[in-house]
Amino acid sequence: MNSSIDFKAIFTASPNGCVLLTPDLTVLEVNESGLRVLGKSRDAVLQRNVRDLLVDILPDAANGLAIELSASYARVLSNNHPEVAWLPQAGSPGRYWKLTHTPIFDPDGQLSLVATYLTDVHAPAEGQAAPGLAFGAENSLASDGMPAAGEGKPSPQEGKAQTTSRVLFVEDNEDLRESTSQLLEGLGHGVTAVANAEKALVCLETERFDVLLTDLSLPKMTGAELAREAARRYPDMRIIITSGYGRAMANVRGFEAVLLPKPYRLADLKRALSGQ
């Protein structure tokens, strides 16, 4: 590789916005185009946690977007796969920001950075469905690169779940546990979130839950073992099991459960919770 190439100069001059984050989602660097998109000075952006920054730059009416964007970052950290989000541009009808969160690894295969690329996108051609807010890996988008119709952000009237449920959420990844809990609460559900199956069993003994939402891969007792025990004790409880490993889902046998592959979109989660 030509060592004389000035990659920092290329990063700075790029017409597309780019924000570089550390694995704990602290802003490490942002180029000039990115600063224009964010509407902030460099000093107001660097060394801030991206969740706090999102709450700051989005209006109060769009706090739900900050929660959902945080959830998309958590999935990047959990699954080590890119995530794509489409965000309508405030004050510019028919224009969108395409946000691509891309994990970057060091030579040892360890996550070293998350790069968010911000691309200005025009509305689709007349007759095509306009994208709402959608999240997921690249291969979960429609073939034309736009979010599939009907899978955008819900309207304010649809944002809350019509029937509030008590959800026991089990996830050992701290970032994903926090962001998904916020997302569930934003949908109108009451949430108790724990890191492992053992804590979940204690909760089941002391509280009533309508839904068990658990990751399949948990330390010690697996999500499948937890779900099987919950189904035995509480046959009316709805059970949802998530996993980033499709083959592992074949191990879920002997009880009724909804299988939700990772990464999942907001629409996928809503369908699983509602039983549609």
For domain 7-140, say whether CATH 3.30.450.20 is its number. yes
Whether 7-140 shares its CATH topology with 166-274 is answered: no
pLDDT of residue 81: 85
Give the tokens for residue 190: 């009451």
Residue percentage of the chain with pLDDT more than 90: 30
d(CA 198, CA 207): 15
pLDDT at 133: 44
Q: Rounded to whole angstroms, how far apart are CA atoms 46 and 41?
A: 9
pLDDT per position as a tens digit, 27-66: 999 999 999 888 889 999 999 988 788 877 776 555 667 7
Q: Is the peptide bond before 263 cis (omega within 30 degrees of 0)?
A: yes
At 76, the pLDDT band (50, 70, 90 cuts) reads confident
Indicate the pLDDT class of residue 127, thresholds 50, 70 and 90: very low
User: In the prediction, which pLDDT does 18 show?
Assistant: 94
pLDDT at 260 over 80: yes
Predicted confidence band at 19 (pLDDT cuts at 50, 70, 90)? very high
> Residue 192 and residue 190: Cα distance in Å, rounded?
7
pLDDT tens digits along 211-258: 999 998 898 899 989 999 999 999 999 999 988 765 555 556 656 888
CA-nearest of 43, 145, 47, 166 to 100 is 145
Give all strands (DSSP E) within the chain, no chain letters. Answer: 17-21, 27-30, 83-88, 95-105, 111-122, 135-136, 166-170, 190-194, 211-215, 238-243, 258-261
Record the pTM.
0.53
Q: What are the structural domain ranges in the chain? A: 7-140, 166-274
CATH class of 166-274: alpha beta
